[in-house]
Each structure stands twice: as structure tokens, then as C-alpha cells.
Amino acid sequence: MQFYNILRSAHSGWRYLVLIFLVLAIVQALAGWLGKKPYTEGNRKLNLFALIFTHVQILFGLVLYFISPLVEAGLRYWKMEHIGMMIFAAILVTVGNARSKRTDDAATKHRTIALYFGLALILIVAAIIAMVKFDPTRTFWGVS
Ligand code: HEM
């Protein structure tokens, strides 16, 4: 199925954008929090990009969920764990970004992003490691 293959590759490759932008946002938030820096427009934009890339990945994943033969086959990791962990991670990113806007204090904004995005990143990395354990034909970095 052509559409399935395209979407699968898009979802597979998109992981890099999600991981890279989350890491950048976390590094920036930690530097801002610990270095007592102001919360700039650049900070806000990078956090927003990390949020958007994560949401787009969830959309790709949701469509895949309904057409992937792996989910149809009822494979536990794909049916339950992948979707559960990834959606929870996306909720953390969404809530973290929203909460960072509710305060005017720069340190609190940076800390909120660092904590929520950090937890989300740990969850995503754990989910990908679990994927490789479940299906050793896949690798952490390799696009299938
Ligand atoms: C931040 C969120 C997500 C990340 C980083 C992510 C990452 C990945 C990765 C790395 C793969 C393996 C690709 C490969 O081996 O080439 C994959 C496969 C898959 N993902 Fe996600 N995913 C995310 C969210 C989701 C969500 C929310 C769903 C379902 C609603 C989903 C459904 C799937 C399915 C069904 C596959 C298997 C596709 C196939 O080979 O048939 N993903 N994902």
C-alpha cells in the first residue's frame, strides 16, 4: 500500500525533528533557568516549534494506527504501549508549553519547560528503546 509506506517513512523520519527540537528546547530552558536569563521571543518560538513537531508526529501516528498491519495483527507494543507512551509524552509537552505562558516570571517559565519537556523526552526515548526490544529488526536511529 503506497500511502501506508509513505506515511510510515514520514513518521519514522519525523522522530528526528521531534527529538532534536525537544533537546534544543530543554537545553535552552536549563540554560535560562540555571543562568537566570530572561525569557525571550526566541525561547518562546523554539518551544512552540517543539510543540508543533510533536503534534504533527502524533497526527502521523494516529493515521498509521488505523492502517498499519502491525496494529491490526494485535501486537501488544504497537496496539498499546507505543500509542500510550507517545500520547502521554505529547500531553506533557502541551501542558508544559501552556503552563509556561501562565506566569510572567522568566525563571518559572524556563523551569516549567525544562521539567515537562524533559519528562516527555525521557518517555519518548523509553518508548523507542521498548520498540527496539520488542522488534529487534528495528534500531533506535534507523528509518525502516
Ligand atoms: C512523539 C511521538 C512519536 C514518536 C517519536 C514516534 C516514533 C516512532 C518510531 C521511531 C517508529 C518506528 C519507525 C521505524 O522503525 O522506522 C514508529 C512507528 C509507529 N508509530 Fe509512532 N511515534 C510517535 C507517536 C505515535 C502515535 C501517537 C501513534 C499512534 C496513535 C503511533 C503509531 C505508530 C505505528 C502504528 C508505528 C508502526 C508503523 C509500521 O511499521 O507499520 N506513533 N513511531
pLDDT digits (tens, 9 = 90+) for 28-60: 999 999 999 999 999 999 999 999 999 999 999
Q: Looking at residue 102, what DSSP letter applies?
A: S
Q: Could you tell me the pLDDT band of residue 140, with boundaries at 50, 70 and 90? A: confident
Summarize the confidence of residues 119-139 as an average pLDDT.
95
Ligand 1 in reach of 46 Cβ (< 6 A)? no
Can you tell me the distance from the alpha carbon of 101 to that of 55, in angstroms, rounded to the nearest whole number?
Answer: 18
- Which residue is listed with cell 500500500? 1
- Which residue is listed with cell 509556561? 100
How confident is the model at residue 131, as a pLDDT?
A: 96
Q: Give residue 41 CA to ligand 1 midpoint distance, Å.
A: 31
- Which residue is listed with cell 534507523? 142
Residue ID of nearest Cα to ligand 1 atom 19:
61
Q: List the domain boundaries for the chain.
A: 2-134
Determine what percent of the chain is predicted with pLDDT higher than 70: 99
